[in-house]
Structure formats: C-alpha cells, structure tokens
A and B are shown apart, each in its own frame.
Chain A
Amino acid sequence: MAVFLNHHQRREGAEPLLAVNSLYKRFPSPRGGGELTVLAGVELTVYRGEFLSIIGRSGCGKTTLLRCIAGFEKPSRGSLLIEGREITGPGIDRMMVFQETDQLFLWLTVLGNVEFALQAAGVPRRERRARAVHYLEMVGLERFLEYYPHQLSGGMKQRVAIARALSVAPRMLLMDEPFAALDAMTRNVLQQELLRLWQETKITIIFVTHNIQEAIIQSDRILVLRPLLPANGANTPCGAADNGSQRPLSSIAALIENTLPRPRRPDMPGFGAIWRQLNLLIGHDGEARTEPEDEAEAVAESAAEPAGAIVLDGKAT
C-alpha cells in the first residue's frame, strides 16, 4: 500500500503547484557564533489538490519548511516557486493555520475574524458576510457567528481558523500541527472534518505533524524529514554541509506515497506496515514513537507488508 517514491517522480495526471528547489535554511546559532543549519537540500514538488503531510522528529525543520513555503522565512539557499512564481513573502495564496489557539483575533467575533480576512483580501463589503457565513457553515459554526473567541473551545477556535484561511480562497492551506493542542477525541473529529473539507474544496494541503497515525489517515503523500543535528545536540553536520568536503546531507529522509484506500482507519490492513516504516524512518527517539495508541496498534498489526522502493537522501537503495 505504501509506495516509497523519488520526490521528483511525476505523478500521473497531477499538476504541479509548488516547487521547492535545493532549499537550505540556516539560522544564527542561539549559542552565538556560527550558524545552525535546519534544512538542507530539500527538493519537493507539491501537486494541486493533494494532501501532503510533513513528519519528523522535533527539530528536524518541518515547521521551518512550512514557514519557508508560507513566506515567513527566507531561504538561505535555493528557491521556492508557486505556480512558477518565486515566493518572496507571506501571501494570501498560501494561508497558514497555526497550532496556537491564540491565532484568532480576540477582539473580533467568529464572524468578524472571517470578515476581517475577507476585507484584507479585498473582498467587497457586501459580499463579505455571505461568504464568511458560508465558510463558517462549512466548519459547522453557523450558530456561533457572534461569539467571541474566548467563548469557544479549543477545537472550535481551530475550526474558525480553518474557515478563515479557506475563506480567502488560497491556493494551498499550510497547517502547522493544528490539532496538536487538542484532546484525542476532538482531534479525531477534526481530522475527519478536515478530510471532508479537503474533498469538498479540492484544496491543496500541506500538513505538518509529528503524529504518524494522523499523517497516515489524512495524506496522499508523507514527507519524512530528519534532523541534521545528532540527537545530543552537538553541532557538527552543519559545517560539514557547508565546506563541501563531505557529501551534503539532505533533510529529506523519505517521501512516501500512501495508497491506502479512504476512508482510512488504524485497524485496516496495511496501516500497521506503513506505521512501522514511518516509525523506523523517523527514528527511535522520535516523539511519535512514544504515543502509546499508535504503538499498541502497530504491535497488534504485526503482519508486515512489503513496501515499494525506499528512497533515502533522494537516491534509491
């Protein structure tokens, strides 16, 4: 069910939307002196309408990659192109949904938050309300239009954020662990709703998570990133990547095509195999591994299934 692909491999009938070309991102080292390489050699094509998850251990640069796509961070090297145009800053064609539940403007109502986005997007005043209500209906909040964010639960706040992001009709939705702060039940519900929205709107979604199960249930493809730093934090590979004496490291551990039939459930055949593959790729001290729910299921589903070609560092093994 899971096919490991080369990230440059064309998908049949799919239209490329976003291209990430040999992206490097370095930050000044927090300890002063020198730089810290967070992303290296990222090559990626994202196709219109697909649901792509980015997964990896914390510190592997998955949020940084998303923020580069969003335009909040400038690449140190390489380029990002959306529909062939270079990304130079944040834009309304790439709407971000953050993990933090404080992303809503507290001084605006639910409706106000969405209308504010529409106003910023230049939607004429008389169209705003109907459009805002439409998107809020899509996330099931039509009865909470006049509520202020502090009167909502965490899950409702994230729904508003999603509605707000969708309302301005972006090319893609960039979601940075949007459900990580929610309880497991709400999270499941919202996952299902997001899938429904995705199918309804045919929007392209790049979804950052460290939850393997979430990634498998939702995405067409899963990009696995790996940290460039050893787990103990010693800063060696970055320099190596720069001086060219060694083969540059890539942040990409693997790109997996998830062909499990939808709707997906953790107890369906093939789920466990992908889970184990991902778990292995992410590495044994990854946060994802510590999630008991996933692990228990993985153990229960011990019948391993063969996978396609594994692509590591962009080269088939």
Chain B
Amino acid sequence: MRLINEARTRLALMARSWGQNLLRTHLARQVAWLMAVAAGWEALARASVYPPILFPRLSDVLATLVTEMRTGEILARTGWSLGTICTGVALAVAISIAAAGIALGIRPLRPLVDALLNVLHPLPGIAVLPIFLLWFGTGAPAVLAVVVFSCIWPMVQNLLAGLEAVPRTQIEVGRNLGLRRARLILFVLIPASLPYALAGLRLAWARGWQTAVAGEMVFGAGGGDGGLGWFIYKRRFFLEIPAVFAGMLMIIIIGILVEHVVFGTLERLTVRRWGMSRAE
C-alpha cells in the first residue's frame, strides 16, 4: 500500500513537472498564441464586422473541414497533391543526383551546372508555368513539371555543397581501406553529405508544395485531376468560402506534419543522432 502511494505521488510529481515544462517550452507558447488568434478570429467573425461570406467563423471552417473529410473530396484532393509533390520531389532528387554527379565527375561541365543553378534558381516555379503549359500540356503534367523545376535547384545546390564539404580526411580513410568509386560514394560520400542533402530535400519539399498548390490555383488542373489548389480554386467560384479556408487549413496541416513529423523524425534518426545536424 505504501509502495503504491509512493508510486502514485511520484507519478503525480512527474506529471506536474512535465506539464510545467510543456508550458514553458517555446512550442507551448506558440500553441497558446495560435489559440488566442483563433479565438480572436471567431470573435471577430461573430461580430459580423466583415461580410460573413468573406470572413467566415472559424467554427464553420472547422465544421466544413470535417464534412469535407467525411465526403472524401478534400482527402482525395490532398492525396492527389501529395502524389504530385512526392513524384515531383522524387524526380527532382534523381535529376539532382545526376546533375551533381555530372558537375563533380565531369570537370568541364561544372561551370554549366553552376551557371544553370545561378540563372534558374531565382526563378519561381510558378513563373515558368505558362511555358510548361505549352510544352507539357495542361493539367497534371505541367504542374508536375513545374514542381520538379522548383525542387531541382535547391536540391542540386545542397548536394554540391554537401559533397564538397565532405572532409578530405574521411575520403582518404575510405581510400586507405581500399574503397574505390561506387563503394566510396555509397559508404562515405553519401552518408557524409547527408546533412546537406536533407536540408536540400526540406527546401525542395517546401518549394514544391507551394508550387504545386499555386500552380493548380493559377492555371487550374481540372476535374478528376487536381489537388488542394484546384479544390480551393473551385470552391472560390462557388463562394464556398469556409471550404476555401478548410483547404488552406489542410495545406497547413500537411505542411506541419511533413515538416515536423517526417523531416523531424528523419533528422532525429540520422544527422541529429550522429551530431551532424547543421540546424542546431
């Protein structure tokens, strides 16, 4: 009995200190502020200062989000967007690896890759969409091409930087152990440049996600195709503003999930665990 009581007290103490820690963390403060903003939004919407059709209540938006999830459309659209972006990022990664390989492997081509990088990196993906529409046709292929375009440059840049930042010593240790070419690249160069590659991937994802949504919104996709951008675009024309906000919430949710859960986990398991993280 005494033992149980003791354990209970200890648990309670742990829970309290954990709660206090949570409150003190930066994350908790951010959440608190977000709640405050949400409450302000709801209050402002209820006060009907702005036409409700343009400035819906947060509660309506959340209700719409739930309804849309239940009918499945928003999930299908999200799935389509995620499909586009994943395909796009995967293609971009493959192309970037090839480009980085060419730049580092074939000396005379290095200035070409650098020049392309310098010229095209500042160009937002969405700006090339009109051209890509002519080249690749409307809808999915053009949006995918634009996503790939916007993902490639940060990826290439980071891969090159990462490969160049691999300490010479580590390469020589590998060579000393008799590793050549493929094995040296696979077992030394790639893991050693992983922090840069991850940073590049993170950037590529962010740019790709923005571009995919914006691309669908500006030039539409249509009908069966089309992701969240198209969802928002369509609902706007039917003046279903809560649904427009719901679509935006979905984009935010996906963004947070990928940023913190996917990339966060990936980094915790790799570069952070190895003390290689550049973010700290």
Q: Which residues of A contact B (CB under 8 A)?
A: 70, 72, 89-92, 94-96, 98, 100, 102-103, 105-107, 116-117, 120-121, 148-151, 168
B276 touches A92 (CB 8 A): no
Q: Are B275 and A121 in contact (CB-based, < 8 A)?
A: no
A2 to nearest B CB, angstroms?
33
Min distance, Cβ B154 to any Cβ of chain A, angstroms:
23
A96 touches B177 (CB 8 A): no
Distance to closest chain B CB from A255 (angstroms)? 26
With a CB–CB cut-off of 8 A, which chain B residues contact A151? 275
CA distance A117 to B173 in the complex (A): 9
Measured CB to CB, the nearest residue on chain B to A98 is: B169
B170 touches A148 (CB 8 A): no
B194, closest chain A residue (CB): A107
**Closest chain A CB from B146 CB (angstroms):** 34
**Neighbouring B residues of A107 by C-beta, 8 Å:** 191-192, 194, 270, 274, 276
* A98 touching B172, Cβ below 8 Å: yes
CA distance A72 to B176 in the complex (A): 8
Residues of B within 8 A of A92 (CB): 176-178
A150 partner residues in chain B, CB cutoff 8 A: 274-276
In contact, B176 and A102 (Cβ under 8 angstroms): no
Residue contact A102 to B167, C-beta cutoff 8 Å: yes
Contact with A along B171-205 (1 / 0, CB 8 A): 01111111100010001100110100000000000
**Complex Cα–Cα for A91 and B170 (A):** 15
Contact partners of A116 in chain B: CB under 8 A: 177, 187
Q: Would you give the shortest CB distance from A80 to chain B, in whole angstroms? A: 15
B279 CB to nearest chain A CB (Å): 14
State in angstroms the CA–CA spacing of A71 and B174 once bound together.
Answer: 13
> CA A124 – CA B187 in complex, angstroms?
18
Q: Can you report 27 A-B residue pairs in the complex whose CB atoms are below 8 A from each other?
A: A72-B172, A90-B172, A90-B176, A90-B178, A91-B176, A92-B176, A94-B176, A98-B172, A98-B173, A102-B169, A103-B173, A105-B170, A105-B173, A105-B188, A106-B274, A106-B275, A107-B192, A107-B194, A107-B270, A107-B274, A120-B174, A120-B178, A120-B179, A121-B178, A148-B273, A148-B274, A149-B275
Beta-carbon nearest neighbor of A96 in chain B: B176
Q: How far is A288 from B188 in the complex, measured between Cα atoms in Å?
A: 35
The residues of B with any CB-CB pair to A shorter than 8 Å are 167, 169-170, 172-179, 183, 187-188, 191-192, 194, 270, 273-276
Which one of A70, A95, A102, A168 lies within 8 Å of B170 (CB-CB)? Answer: A102
Contact A106/B172 with A92-B178, A117-B177, A121-B178 known, Cβ cut-off 8 Å: no
Residue in chain B with minimal CB distance to A67: B172
Query: How far does the Cβ of A163 sit from chain B's closest Cβ, in whole Å?
Result: 13
Complex: A151 Cα to B274 Cα, angstroms: 9
Task: For the complex formed, measure the closest distance between the CB of A94 and the CB atoms of chain B, giving whole angstroms.
Answer: 8
Bound form: Cα–Cα A72–B174 in Å: 12
CA distance A102 to B233 in the complex (A): 52
> CA A107 – CA B267 in complex, angstroms?
12
Given A103-B170, A116-B187, check contact A70 B275 (CB 8 Å). no
Is A105 in contact with B192, judged by CB distance below 8 angstroms? yes
Identify which of A91, A106, A121 contacts B192 (C-beta below 8 A): A106
User: What are the residues of chain A within 8 A of B178 when measuring CB–CB?
Assistant: 90-92, 120-121
Known: A90-B175, A150-B276, A151-B275. 16 other contacts (CB 8 A): A89-B175, A91-B176, A92-B176, A94-B176, A96-B172, A98-B172, A98-B173, A100-B169, A103-B167, A105-B188, A107-B191, A107-B192, A116-B187, A120-B174, A120-B177, A121-B178
Q: Known contacts being A105-B191, A116-B187, A121-B178, is A96 close to B173, with CB within 8 Å? A: yes
Closest residue on chain A to residue B277 by CB atoms:
A150
Instruction: Indicate which residue in A72, A90, A100 contacts B167 across the interface (CB closer than 8 Å).
Output: A100
A206 to nearest B CB, angstroms?
14
The listed residue with most A CB atoms (<10 A of its CB), out of B169, B188, B194, is B169
Chain B residues, CB < 8 A from A70: 176
Chain A residues within an 8 Å CB radius of B170: 102-103, 105
